[in-house]
A and B are shown apart, each in its own frame.
Chain A
């Protein structure tokens, strides 16, 4: 399959602190790729860099065969959508307004209503709460709005940062069920997850990050065969 996102020699970090070193990565179109690994080793930094929220120091990022713009708005407009960690909702807006914000850069205004229906079908809870302010939602509901808002952009690829972070097990299950639905629709998704077992059924490609580098890559079978290696990294 064709590669939708191709990263070569990417370096990045915060202010003077380098976090990512020489990342090479190919993300295949129409599949779910998981970025796994322990906390504090650059997974979220990689997504933030790819989204343009923090600047790329060095390296080349090609999206659909074209070089990406430098800043977040340009990358979002090109169809590379980040669902950020901690949800980052617009607290003063309602659930529906938040979802509609996701369509801000869309050109196909006619199809927006369909997307809203799709989100509401996937997360019926949001339909019930559509008029409620985002700041009054529970953690799980906020996550649903975050993912829903990402879907509303109807981008070419969606990056989701730790969808299970800080949620109760029951809610995590619901969120991954939803991700499973998205995976079946052949969407291109890059998901960050600390725990590989959660994404094992959803994703088809896996990359392990350690110390700001890609330490291991493989498919579902490789993942099953490498449980020892993963244990050393993840302390499972």
Chain B
């Protein structure tokens, strides 16, 4: 019983970070059919900027976290303005944008490597202490992670459903032409989507680095998790990605506990491929919605 509870705590912590890492990716794909290979770098940048703001510039922690998150948003917008914007109307956008963002990914990763070195450091955003409830250990850090992730995802969900700009994003995702005919400036919408994706990814990066550590390739691991989560959920399904992330997080924790940490991800991937054999468009995806 205790083992199960412990797994649940670990799994939910993992899952909430995965959710934060995946929903931005799902949103980008859902609105503009763009698969962002540099999404992992948004995470890395968020984590490093937060670190620099705190350690190098000596800002208060909460402020440093905000700056880190903002940096993710800025990089997201910059990517739209410098690259994505010019490619949106190409016939083979879906594949070429993956190539272009892969280029951006190794470029940024190399720059971070040059700036900070390959040696991993500890993320200062730490909250010490833990809570023991009936022999289950819950660190304050994981409570903070879950709360922070839930708050950010909740905020995004609220923005998407209750604001005018959220409405524009949803309309564009469902039907770009129709949205334009309603007066939605889709160019701006895409910019906002990449801003949101960057913000969420940077936040995920800060949280992940607080558990693991900072290194130039720290984004790869969560990025692949996010890929798998989005694929299982059905590409573009934002709510689906959130739910799948939590489920897969708990699953990974359970497999890690019973079989070994090494096999957490491989087992997950095996299951994913099995799911896709029976549901090629993912659990929450619709065959028609996926752009061929």
Residue numbers in B under 8 Å from A102 (CB-CB): 182
Total CB contacts across the A-B interface at under 8 A: 62
Q: Is B58 an interface residue (CB 8 A)?
A: no
In the complex, the answer to whether B181 meets A81 with C-beta atoms within 8 Å is yes
CB distance from A160 to the nearest CB of B (A): 12
In the complex, the answer to whether B167 meets A72 with C-beta atoms within 8 Å is no
Residue numbers in A under 8 Å from B186 (CB-CB): 73
User: For chain B residues 143-190, which have a beta carbon within 8 Å of chain A?
Assistant: 164, 167-168, 170-171, 174-175, 177-186
Give the total of A residues in contact with B, Cβ under 8 Å.
23
Complex CA distance for A188 and B168, rounded to whole angstroms: 27
User: For chain A residues 43-83, which have a beta carbon within 8 Å of chain B?
Assistant: 51-53, 71-73, 76-77, 81-82
Query: Given A101-B167, A104-B167, A104-B168: A72 and B180 within 8 A (CB)?
Result: yes
Give the total of B residues in contact with A, Cβ under 8 Å.
17
In the complex, the answer to whether B174 meets A84 with C-beta atoms within 8 Å is no
Residue numbers in B under 8 Å from A88 (CB-CB): 175, 177-178, 181
CB distance from A105 to the nearest CB of B (A): 3
Residue numbers in B under 8 Å from A93 (CB-CB): 170-171, 174
In the complex, the answer to whether B183 meets A92 with C-beta atoms within 8 Å is no
Classify the interface of chain B: helix, strand, loop or mixed: helix
Complex CA distance for A81 and B31, rounded to whole angstroms: 23
CB distance from A71 to the nearest CB of B (A): 7
Which of A71, A89, A92, A149 is in CB contact (< 8 Å) with B180?
A: A71
Complex CA distance for A194 and B210, rounded to whole angstroms: 65
Complex CA distance for A200 and B175, rounded to whole angstroms: 33
List the B residue with the shortest CB-CB distance to A104: B182
Interface residues of A (CB under 8 A from B): 51-53, 71-73, 76-77, 81-82, 84, 88-93, 101-102, 104-105, 149, 153
19 extra A-B contacts, CB within 8 A, seeds A73-B185, A104-B168, A149-B182: A51-B181, A53-B177, A53-B180, A72-B180, A73-B186, A76-B183, A77-B183, A84-B177, A88-B177, A88-B181, A89-B175, A89-B178, A90-B171, A90-B174, A92-B174, A101-B182, A104-B171, A104-B183, A105-B183
